Amino acid sequence: MLKRGQVTLFVVIGIVIVVAVAMALIFKSEISVRLQNVELSKNEGARQLYSEVQAYSEDCLKKTSLEGLQNVLLNGVGEKRLDGVAYYLYENEEMFPEKELFAQSLASYIQSNINYCLNINPLNLKLGKSKVNVVLSENVEIQSEQKISVTKDDLSVTVNKYNTNVDFNLNIVYNYLKDFYDDVKNISEVDFIKRGNEAIKNKYTFFQDDISETDAVFILQIPNAIEGKDAETKFAMKYVVAKPEPLEVGIGDLIGGLV
């Protein structure tokens, strides 16, 4: 049989074990809560950093898209150019671009210039290659796929996609420009200056810059084109100037003129 002292010792040991286990569980629970709080804090910080990078990227995309629209409108779309402005008529060859080429030119401009804006950010963003898609609808939607990474303190985030919209209805602008082009393409540069065309002048706001006897740049104002504001677009035309008919002079005329 166990003596009273031994029983007491076992009881004390049991109590100690129970207390130790309880303390261990409490301590483990507190550590777990603290770790969760740290993780939650990190996650919240990461979310805030991600939102900051996402918002800045979208803002840059908007600014670059607006610059791109101005650039495409002012320089025209096409390879053959006059002082940097695309020809839409070159003698008898019509070069008025398809609507999709405007979207492609805008996408190309954004891809080439978006990083200039993104690099200004003080977070020292690491930028991957940009791939831009322009979706034409009532407004222009610009979608960019680009890996943008940043590390701040002990947080690291990566943005892979960012989008924006521009209040620019390409269908309306394109049709307005095409109507103007159709109105002026059959009027010779010389005749247009001499007699004018009141119907065209009353219909559009434009300026004609005569580069030479055969070349002219038209600057057309398009109302409410970009974000509710008027915009200008340019294109060049090379007209065919009829050569003077050669004079038919007979031998008798020559002799008579010499006498």
Residue by residue, pLDDT tens for the chain (259 residues) are: 545 555 566 666 667 676 666 666 656 555 543 444 444 355 788 888 888 999 999 999 999 999 999 999 999 999 999 999 999 999 889 999 998 999 999 999 999 999 999 998 888 899 999 999 998 877 899 999 999 999 888 888 889 999 999 999 888 899 999 999 998 887 655 455 444 566 677 788 888 888 888 888 999 999 999 999 999 999 999 887 654 455 454 455 444 544 4
- Please give the pLDDT value at position 43: 79
- Please give the pLDDT value at position 137: 78
Contact between 139 and 165 (Cβ < 8 Å): yes
- Please give the pLDDT value at position 30: 53
Q: Which of 140, 131, 118, 129 is nearest to 52 (CA)?
A: 118
Residues with Cβ within 8 Å of 216's Cβ and at least 6 positions away in sequence, in order, are 189, 208, 209, 210, 236, 237, 239
Cα separation, 218 vs 221, whole angstroms:
10
Cα separation, 239 vs 243, whole angstroms:
12
Cα separation, 200 vs 50, whole angstroms:
53
- Please give the pLDDT value at position 258: 46
- Please give the pLDDT value at position 248: 52
Q: Give me the phi and psi of 54, to 5 degrees please.
A: -60, -45
CA distances from 98 to 109, 133, 217, 243 (A): 17, 17, 20, 32
